[in-house]
A and B are shown apart, each in its own frame.
Chain A
Amino acid sequence: MDRSVLLSKLKVIVANYSHDKDALEYFNESTDFIKDLKINSANLVDVVLDVEEEFDIEIDNLSMERMVNVSAAMEIISDKLKEK
C-alpha cells in the first residue's frame, strides 16, 4: 500500500480519539499518539482494534507495545500486510 494512502487511512482512525485537533492538522509520520494527539491511553487499544479491522490484519502483543506513534504504526501495518 502506498505510504500516503496508509497515512491518510491512519489519520481517519486516530482522528476519532485525538484530543488535540490542532495537532491533527499537522499529522505526519513523526506524530506521537499520546504526546502530540493527546490520545487517552485507554483509547490506544481502540486505535489498534480499528487498525486490525481497517486493514484486516492481526496486531500481536509485541507489535501493539510499539504502537505509540505514527511511524511505528505504519511500519507494523506495512509488515503485516506483506505477511498476508
Chain B
Amino acid sequence: MIGNDIVDLRQARLESNWRRKGYLEKLFCPREQFWILEASDQTQMVWLLWSMKESAYKIHSRRKNWRAFAPLKLICQTLEIKGALVTGSVQCENITFFTQSILSQHFIHTVATEQFPLPPIKVNISGYNPMDTSYRNTEPATVSHHGRYLALAYT
C-alpha cells in the first residue's frame, strides 16, 4: 500500500499561517519543531514534515480504518535532504513508514510506503481541475490534490 501527498506552496501561503501562536505545537513534536526552527527555509520544512505525515496517514488510516486528526501520533523520525530529494521515515503506533519527497519552488510532494527500500512508484503531477475526474480511470493507488496540483501515484 502507498500514500501520497502534495502541498501547493502558494496555496499553503494563502490559507495557512504556521507562525500563528500554538500552531506548530499542535502539529509537531519538539524535535520536529527544532528541525523547523533550524531550517534555512522554515516554511518549506513545515510543509515537508506535514506532507510526510499526511502520506503516512493515508496508508495507516486506510489499513486500520482509522479516522482522526492526530498529527502528533505521526512522528517524523528521520530526514535526509539531498538537493531536491528527501528521504525520511514516519512512525505511527509502532509502524514505520518510509517516505520520499521532492522539493520544488512551487510544491512539495511525498510518497510513503511500509517497504524499504521503496518499491518503484510512478508519480504523475499535473494541474488540478475539480471538474475533470478522468484520472480515476487510470486507477491510481493514491490521489492527492491541493491548490493548483493533482498528484497521482501508481505501484
Contacts and interface: CB of A to CB of B under 8 A. Distances in A.
A56 to B, nearest CB: 13
Interface in B33-91: 50, 54, 67-73
Nearest to B26: A45
A48 interface: yes
B15 A52 contact: no
The range of chain B's interface size is 20 to 34
A81 B77 CA distance: 36
A43 interface: yes
B114 to A, nearest CB: 21
Q: Taking each of B15, B20, B23, which has the highest tally of chain A beta carbons within 10 Å of its own beta carbon?
A: B15
Given A40-B15, A41-B54, A64-B26, A49 B20 contact: yes
Interface in B84-114: none
A49 B69 CA distance: 13
B16 A65 contact: no
A46 interface: yes
A77 to B, nearest CB: 15
B16 A42 contact: yes
A68 B12 CA distance: 20
Contacts of B21: 49
Interface of A: 17, 40-46, 48-49, 52, 61, 64-68
Interface of B: 7, 12, 15-16, 20-23, 26-27, 50, 54, 67-73, 146
29 contacts: A17-B15, A40-B15, A40-B16, A42-B7, A42-B15, A42-B16, A43-B16, A44-B69, A45-B23, A45-B27, A45-B71, A46-B16, A46-B20, A46-B23, A48-B69, A49-B21, A49-B22, A52-B22, A61-B70, A61-B72, A64-B26, A64-B70, A65-B68, A65-B69, A65-B70, A65-B73, A66-B68, A67-B69, A68-B69
The 5 lowest CB-CB distance pairs between A and B, nearest first, are A65-B68, A65-B70, A44-B69, A45-B26, A42-B16
